[in-house]
Amino acid sequence: MQTTGVIPTTDRRPRSRWTPNRRRNLFGLLFVAPAVIFFGVFNLYPMARAFYVSLTSYDLLTPPRFIGLENYAYLLQDDRFRIALTNTFLFMIGTTVPLWVFSLGIALVMARQFRFKELYRTLYFMPVILSGVVVAIVWSLLYQENGLINTALSPFVKGTLFWLTSDQLAPWSIIIMAVWQGLGFYMVIFLAGLQNIPADLYAAASIDGANAWGRFRYITLPLIRPTALFVTVISLIGGFQTFTYQYVMTQGGPGDATNVIALLIYSAAFSYLKIGLASAMSMVMFAIIMILTLIQFRVLRTDNLSYV
Amino acid sequence: MEAHPPGKVNRRTFLAGTAAAAGGLLAAGVVEQAEAAGRLTSPVRDQVELTFWSHQFTPRETLDKIHIKEFERQNPGVKVNYTTYSEPGYETKLQTAMASGTGPDLFNLYTGVADPLVQGKTVAPVDPQAMGYASLAALKKQYLPGFLDGFTWNNTLYALPTEVSNYALYINKLHFIEAGLNPAKDYPRTWDDIVALSKKLLIVKNGKVLRRGFEFEYATANDWTGTEWDLAGMAYQLGGTVFNHDQTASLVNSPAWVRSLKVYYDFVHTYKLGYPAMPVCSVDFTNGKQGNVSMLLSGYWYAPSVRDTNKTVYKNLMTVQFPRFKDAKHSNGALMYAYAHFVNASSSATKQRLAWKLIETLDSHPAEYLAGAGLLQPRTSLLSSATYRNDPLIKPFLEDARTTPYRPSSTHLSEVQDAIRRAIQRSTQTAVPPQQSLDMAKADIDKILKGV
């Protein structure tokens, strides 16, 4: 019988386990391994360890003693924790809402062309590059009874304002300062988002008769949603984690009027050596931030966003 | 086996190369760690290195360095690595270092936060033989009677004082003279005197406070003296205490405490002589030519600061004892506190002996530390020194120290102190009535004592 060069149907060579697909996957794993190991060692492991420590009574100097959920039970009925949580939410909302509104407003102005625009942009951004500690110390001096702010307000305000020693005013004093410092950062982010919106959309809208508010509402706001999501997430997380201002300016006082979660955690861990309790508070803080972030992603999701 | 195109790396070669690189990095790290450990323990053959930590206080550091050099000359082969850290971060840093086993061989520490270290058995008892004394009794004879009580836990002496401190009343004599008063006769003895004199010394012009007669510290973020223990001292004068006898409950809302906090409260809100929103102490006492507070409470260590920053005020300073209540049951001042030298129990026996020897060197010059740094080391030799006899400011401090107890010893002292601080803040800054404020403090402290 003539052979026609057909390859035998049964291939007796052993099949390699390392198919091209598997090799590609292996190389991919090897390349991401350093980052994954780094993340595991410096993120996942500490989180798992912190969760374990939150189930113990631990003062660093003696071995941890397992106490189950006692730390969490304590937090549920602790007035100081409740006050700190309330103050933290107040600070978070008190800073983020003005930051969104004012930074977007200033970004809209900065997106136009006018004289000395770069100078104004720099001036707005300058507080951002200052250290939080420096800002807090300077504003502490401004807020003094005989400080610059009271002196400037004295023709308009009867009596003295106790910016940092009044339990009513102290939280707002810190919020005002925080908004002042953060404004430039979010302005720059919004500006970048605004500059990504195609100009011809505005042109087309104008031709179709849309006024300034219409263009803002139907073009700017929807198309700036990804930027807004980023700003929202970052500002809320940053607001919830506030520590420096309260530590430097008031130490959480007067009473607990400006005490926030991060400051309470710091005191519990490093002043009182209650590491277990501090870890439990950290876990609660982590859970709250996670929930807030998931809510934001759900509310501000941008998967149906398009320019068409 | 397939031939691979030239210039391409095959899988086996890639994996081998990666493993070799990782192994090389690991080996380099191990070698580096070994070399570093070798450098730490024996930089030079047979040399012992002692690590010594302290908080920053420039006048004391200058003297420490002189005596450390003296010690190194007397002990060839011993090197002292002396490092100072700024407070309040220093205490946190030290506690975490001790907990992780990386603490120094000896350190200077405020005794109020030392309780956990002692209870955790991380510090060693005093070794009198290493210091050159035949016995503990012989060592204790070097100190004024009763002053070592604050360094004793469970009947064991664990530390030796680098300074004991209490607060007396500093007076700017120039302000008294300006107000038509005679500072030598008219100085305040009681809290009522403080109020009466403050009214005469206060200057307010166009609604602006130019000078305050007296100022408490109101536990704001910038306060640098322990006002909680001024308040406690006042309560002790009236028979109050912080804890009950077995430290299972707090007594900070007793009538003695309420009456004491009412002095603060009335000073600010009733008499309008106190200004919690204005800074106190160092800045204002030495502000401008004459300072703008006439009287304040501070430790003896404050005097060198005034001397170095405002010679006019320093020349016209006088000190008198901490004011009393007219009907006080006990004649005491603000509760005492101290800084002390401790030795790390994890250090080797050789290092521990050398550490105690160094401590003896540092603590044998009480007159120098008094004159140079304003620190009172309660050694008997201090009383016979010319420095002490000729010092016009020290005597009220020592007189009060003889009759004043130390701050109570407790593992929870930092938390308790903060609870009292918040009570002072509530009453002075937000006008919460003293009884209510102290009831809240008692509730906080009882919870602290109950623990988690």
CA distance linking residue B339 with residue B61, whole number of Å: 14
Look up the CATH number of the domain holding residue A255: 1.10.3720.10
The pLDDT of residue A40 = 94
Query: Is there a contact between B209 and A146 if contact means CB atoms under 8 Å apart?
Result: yes
Query: Is there a contact between A272 and B95 if contact means CB atoms under 8 Å apart?
Result: no
- Residue B357 pLDDT > 50, yes or no? yes
Overall number of domains in chain A: 2
Q: Is residue A2 part of a domain?
A: no
Same domain? A165 vs A286: yes
Contact residues, chain B to chain A, C-beta under 8 Å: 11, 14, 18, 92, 95-96, 98-100, 116-117, 119-120, 122, 208-209, 218-222, 275-279, 412, 414-415, 418, 421-422, 425-426, 429-430, 432, 444, 447, 451-452
* Amino acid letter for position B393: L
Tens of pLDDT, residue by residue over B406-446, are: 999 888 998 999 999 999 999 999 999 999 999 999 999 99
Half-sphere exposure of B132 (CA within 13 A, CB side): 10
Tens of pLDDT, residue by residue over B260-303, are: 999 999 999 999 999 888 766 554 565 555 568 899 999 888 88
Same domain? A178 vs A114: yes
The pLDDT of residue B96 = 86
Query: Is there a contact between B277 and A267 if contact means CB atoms under 8 Å apart?
Result: no
CA distance linking residue B434 with residue B265, whole number of Å: 7
Query: Is there a contact between A270 and B98 if contact means CB atoms under 8 Å apart?
Result: no
For chain B, percent of residues with pLDDT exceeding 90? 65
Q: Is residue A126 part of a domain?
A: yes
Q: Is residue A13 part of a domain?
A: no
| pLDDT band (50, 70, 90) for residue A240 | very high
Q: Distance of CA A76 to CAs A80, A82, A116, B147, B440, Å?
A: 10, 8, 54, 44, 18
Pairing assessment for the beta strands A56-57 and A65-66 based on DSSP bridges:
antiparallel
Task: Determine the structural domain holding residue A288 and report its residue range.
Answer: 78-299
pTM of structure: 0.83
- On chain A, the residues whose CB falls within 8 A of the CB of B426 are 254-255
B48-166+338-403, which class in CATH?
A: alpha beta
Mean pLDDT in chain B? 88
The pLDDT of residue A212 = 86
Tens of pLDDT, residue by residue over A59-78, are: 888 889 999 999 999 999 99
Q: Find the largest Cα–Cα distance for chain B.
A: 109
The pLDDT of residue A302 = 58
The pLDDT of residue B2 = 41
Instruction: Centre a 10 Å sphere on the Cβ of residue A146 and count the other Cβ atoms it contains.
Output: 14
The pLDDT of residue B310 = 82
- Residue B193 pLDDT > 70, yes or no? yes
Worst-scoring range by mean pLDDT, A29-43, A289-303, B105-119, B232-246?
A289-303
The pLDDT of residue A20 = 85
- Total CB pairs under 8 A between chain A and B: 99
From B216, B193, B200, B324, select the one nearest B265 (Cα to Cα).
Answer: B216
The CATH number of domain B168-335+412-450 is 3.30.70.260: no
Tens of pLDDT, residue by residue over B128-169, are: 999 999 999 999 999 998 889 889 998 999 999 999 999 999
| pLDDT band (50, 70, 90) for residue A298 | confident
Min Cα separation B70/chain A (Å) = 34
Same domain? A88 vs A208: yes
Backbone φ/ψ region at A294: left (φ over 0), alpha (ψ -120 to 50), beta: alpha
The pLDDT of residue A21 = 86
Min Cα separation A86/chain B (Å) = 18
Per residue in A3-29, is it b (16+ CB within 10 Å) or e — as a string?
Answer: eeeeeeeeeeeeeeeeeeeeeeeeeee
Pairing assessment for the beta strands B168-172 and B203-205 based on DSSP bridges:
unpaired
Query: Is there a contact between A257 and B219 if contact means CB atoms under 8 Å apart?
Result: no
Same domain? A29 vs A147: no
Q: Is residue A168 part of a domain?
A: yes
Same domain? A148 vs A285: yes
Q: Which of A60, A145, A256 sits opposite B277 (nearest CB)?
A: A145
Same domain? A130 vs A32: no
- On chain B, the residues whose CB falls within 8 A of the CB of A18 are 11
Same domain? A226 vs A285: yes
* Amino acid letter for position B162: T
Instruction: Centre a 10 Å sphere on the Cβ of residue B32 and count the other Cβ atoms it contains.
Output: 10
Return the HEC string of chain A: CCCCCCCCCCCCCCCCCCCHHHHHHHHHHHHHHHHHHHHHHHHHHHHHHHHHHCCEECCCCCCCEECCCHHHHHHHCCHHHHHHHHHHHHHHHHHHHHHHHHHHHHHHHHCCCCCCHHHHHHHHHHHHHCCHHHHHHHHHHHCCCCCHHHHHHCCCCCCCCCCCCCCCCHHHHHHHHHHHHHHHHHHHHHHHHHHCCCHHHHHHHHHCCCCHHHHHHHHHHHHCHHHHHHHHHHHHHHHHCCCHHHHHHCCCCCCCCCCCHHHHHHHHHHHCCCHHHHHHHHHHHHHHHHHHHHHHHHHCCCCCCCCC
Domain boundaries, chain B: 48-166+338-403, 168-335+412-450
Same domain? A83 vs A27: no
For chain A, percent of residues with pLDDT exceeding 70? 92
- Residue A177 pLDDT > 70, yes or no? yes
